[in-house]
Amino acid sequence: MNIIEIENLTKRFKNNVALDNVSLTIRKGEVFGLLGPNGAGKTTLIRLLIGLIKPTSGTARIQYDGLGPFDIKKDMMKIRQKASLLPQEAEVYENLTAKENIMYYGQIYGNMPNGEVHQRTEDLIDMIGLRGRENDVTKEFSGGMKRKVLVARALVMDPDLIFLDEPTTGIDILGARTVRNLIKRLAKELHKTVILTTHDLTEVEELCDRVGILVKGKLAAIGTPDELEEQFTQAHLEDVFIGLTTGEGVLEGDLPTKPKRGVISRLLRRR
Ligand SMILES: Nc1ncnc2c1ncn2[C@@H]1O[C@H](COP(=O)(O)OP(=O)(O)OP(=O)(O)O)[C@@H](O)[C@H]1O
Ligand SMILES: [Mg+2]
């Protein structure tokens, strides 16, 4: 089942076309990665899909199990009932503790009894690795710790559709692994749909079922990481990305045959 169907979506800011006639579908239960250089339109697409900004033209529909379809232009409140966003530039409430930050969000958006919000908050504190610091005010937290609070905050309402705009940016290696494992569990065990942006291609290889590469607001390529490497005859997703974003097209790869997936990940990790 498609949870999102995007049709000819365009967003213009004055003379600047941030998103240019993008059409794509997202399937329920997949982890979809949005890639692209700075300013490519990734955050704009996410903001449009969750109804924070309105498109200049085109539209998208969101359909949950037995609910919808909802139009992003007019059904923002209905979409938000089961969708959650970790914004790229989000901030914690610095005078609240980690636990209060997460619980507060659950009480506003959760649409669930207080006891359940409390239980989910406790579970998320463990899952994200903040146990022991949960009762400290977050103004005493490091940048990465604040980001972890924000990831937990985005999940407390138990959304079906989760937008994570650079979830692991600023989080240390171990913390990023924790967040990635959490994302995997959300999709594979709980059948949530996750749409994430990242500049980390190792993360993409590890997490994403499919990726879309945006270049100057246009969808330049879409597919599984393996399909993209094959389609552009490159051994590494990074080379596909560089070819598409430099505007020079994708050059033939040096390697005559495509190495196995594990080899690609190891090569990428070594950099
Ligand atoms: N509120 C706004 N007003 C005017 N222009 C905007 C606004 N938001 C985004 N833009 C422009 O839209 C384009 C796409 O921006 P967007 O934030 O979607 O990029 P991005 O792909 O998320 O980049 P990054 O990787 O840096 O986060 C940029 O040229 C940006 O300047
Ligand atoms: Mg962005």
Ligand nearest to the CA of 42: 1
Cα 260 to averaged position of ligand 1 atoms, centre (Å) = 36
Runs of H (alpha helix) within the chain: 42-49, 76-80, 98-109, 114-128, 143-155, 173-188, 201-207, 225-231, 237-245, 261-270
pLDDT tens for residues 74-106? 999 999 999 999 999 889 999 999 999 999 999
pLDDT tens for residues 188-200? 988 999 999 999 9
Cα 39 to averaged position of ligand 1 atoms, centre (Å) = 5
d(CA 35, CA 32): 10
CATH of domain 2-82+159-224: 3.40.50.300
Ligand nearest to the CA of 87: 2
pLDDT tens for residues 8-60? 999 999 989 999 999 999 999 999 999 999 999 999 999 999 999 999 999 99
93 SS3 class: coil
Residues having CB closer than 6 A to ligand 1 are 13, 16, 18, 36, 38-44, 88
Cα 206 to averaged position of ligand 1 atoms, centre (Å) = 26
HEC secondary structure over 201-232 = HHHHHHHCCEEEEEECCEEEEEECHHHHHHHC
Separation of CA 40 from chain center? 15
Q: For residue 256, what are its two tokens? A: 């005559």
pLDDT tens for residues 215-271? 999 999 999 999 988 887 777 888 888 888 886 654 444 333 443 444 434 444 443
pLDDT tens for residues 113-131? 999 999 999 999 998 989 9
Higher-confidence position of 241 and 138: 138
Burial class of residue 241 (count of CB atoms within 10 Å of its CB; 0-12, 13-18, 19+): buried
pLDDT of 247: 66
pLDDT of 260: 40
Runs of H (alpha helix) within 52-113: 76-80, 98-109
**Is-contact 22 45, C-beta < 8 A?**
yes
Among the atoms of ligand 1, which is closest to the Cα of residue 217? 14
pLDDT tens for residues 200-228? 988 999 999 999 999 999 999 999 999 98
pLDDT of 240: 85
Domain boundary assignment for the chain: 2-82+159-224
The whole-chain average pLDDT of the chain stands at: 88
Q: For residue 120, what are its two tokens? A: 């989910």
pLDDT of 248: 60
pLDDT tens for residues 171-182? 889 889 888 998
pTM of the model: 0.88
Ligand nearest to the CA of 53: 1
Cα 21 to averaged position of ligand 1 atoms, centre (Å) = 16
pLDDT tens for residues 151-163? 999 999 999 999 9
> Residue 63 above 60 pLDDT?
yes
